Amino acid sequence: MTGPAITQAMIDAYDEYTHLTLDRRGFMEKLTRLAGSGAAAAVIVPMLAANQARAAIVADDDKRLKAEDIAYPGATGEMKGYLVHPADQSGKLPAVIVIHENRGLNPHIRDVARRFALEGFVALAPDFLSPQGGTPADEDKAREMFGKMDAAQTTANGVATVAFLKANELSNGKVGAVGFCWGGGLVNTLAVNAPELSAGVAYYGAQPKDEADIARIKAALMLHYAGKDERINAGIDAYKAALEKAGKEFQVFVYDGAQHAFNNDTSEARYDKAAADLAWGRTVAFLKDKLG
């Protein structure tokens, strides 16, 4: 027996709910209309949402890794984060900041940090909800908290994270950042505001708009976009033009047919393994080249 069909309109409604102005009640009403019944909508919701119960690709107790929850100095207070590196590390390694989506530091992002550590990086996944007490277990609550974030404070905490990881005894002093969705937008923001950032990889992230800001970027950039992501893709051409005008080093990849959040393997309806694997291979090679 096959499950209900997921349409583009349903995915767009979920994107409107999680990123724009639609509240949960409005989303469920819209999804019910699209699905044909409340029962069908109830089945579809977990297919659209991220399911943290799905198995991690790298177990949290993998003996090849050393992982710990840490606290470190932010711009105006303590930041929390998840630091992971190879257990047999004997020398200094390139460092990568792994920046979460608009659900905070959840099990999936911790898993992604472990994947980077297995590739030979020191990986730090910060919790940018730290000023509000940290990421809650309830993802809807986390989404509400994002609406209360102070943009300047968030940027400053990101810059402080770069400085912390650059000076960390495990790091070779070269720091890159990888971010997804909200985190992809923050990677672009950090590229503007953190001159010590050596490389940035933004997955379907919002772009800076001001050419003067873009001219300040020093990091090499790799930008991944989903083919079916009109909201974010609307900013690609202007960003490319500004980067080219300023003589910046960057690469842009658009994955035809892929949905926003195609890298998130906990989201059944939007995960695209082919696109995710291709983008991951490109990302790891790029970071090794720029940070090694």
Q: Which residues are catalytic?
A: 181, 229, 260
Q: How far apart are CA 277 and CA 281, in angstroms?
A: 6
Which residue(s) pair with 215 in the sheet?
none
Q: How far apart are CA 221 and CA 200, in angstroms?
A: 5
DSSP string, 15-29: HHHHHSS--HHHHHH
Supply the angle between the helices 24-35 and 38-48 in degrees, to the nearest 10. Answer: 110
Q: How far apart are CA 196 and CA 159, in angstroms?
A: 9
Which is nearest to 194 in space by CA: 219, 168, 165, 221? 219
Measured in Å, how far apart are the chain's first and last C-alpha atoms? 49
Distances in whole angstroms, Cα of residue 134 to Cα of each of 18, 104, 106, 146, 179:
19, 8, 11, 11, 18
Chain-centre distance of CA 251, in angstroms?
18
Q: 3-state SS string over 94-116?
A: EEEEEECCCCCCCHHHHHHHHHH
Residue entry with tokens 């069909």: 5
Q: How far apart are CA 126 and CA 105, in angstroms?
A: 7
Residue entry with tokens 């809807």: 140
| DSSP-based three-state secondary structure for 176 | strand
The number of beta carbons lying within 10 Å of the beta carbon of residue 92 is: 14
